[in-house]
Amino acid sequence: MILLNLYLSFAKVGLFTFGGGYAMLPLIESEIIHGRGWLTVREFTDIVAIAEVTPGPIAVNSATFVGYRLAGAVGGIVATLGVVTPSVIIVLALAMLASRFENSDRLARVKSGMRPAVVGLIAAAAFSVARVALVDSKSMMIAAAAAVLVFWAKLDPIVVLAISGLLGMLIFS
In angstroms and rounded to an integer, the radius of gyration of the C-alpha atoms of the chain is 18
Give the structural domain span for 167. Answer: 134-173
Average pLDDT of span 93-120:
82
Residues 96 and 65 in one domain: yes
Whether 51 shows a pLDDT value over 80: the answer reads: yes
Residues 78 and 104 in one domain: yes
Residues 122 and 172 in one domain: no
Identify which of 164, 10, 170, 5 has the alpha carbon closest to the alpha carbon of residue 87: 10
% of the chain at pLDDT higher than 70: 98
Q: What is the mean pLDDT of the chain?
A: 87
Residues 66 and 19 in one domain: yes
What pTM value is reported for the model?
0.62
Residues 103 and 173 in one domain: no
Whether 6 shows a pLDDT value over 90: the answer reads: yes
Whether 49 shows a pLDDT value over 80: the answer reads: yes
Residues 147 and 108 in one domain: no
Whether 36 shows a pLDDT value over 80: the answer reads: yes
Residues 34 and 85 in one domain: yes
**Residue 39 · residue 33 · CB < 8 Å:** yes
Average pLDDT of span 10-31:
82
- What is the per-residue pLDDT for 23? 76
- Segment 122-161, tens digit of pLDDT: 888 888 888 888 989 999 999 999 999 999 999 998 899 8
Q: Which residues contact residue 122 at a Cβ distance below 8 angstroms, ignoring those fewer than 6 apart?
A: 19, 22, 23, 25
**HEC sequence for the chain:** CHHHHHHHHHHHHHHHCCCCHHHHHHHHHHHHHHHCCCCCHHHHHHHHHHHHHCCCCHHHHHHHHHHHHHHHHHHHHHHHHHHHHHHHHHHHHHHHHHHHHCCCHHHHHHHHHHHHHHHHHHHHHHHHHHHHHCCCHHHHHHHHHHHHHHHCCCCCHHHHHHHHHHHHHHHCC
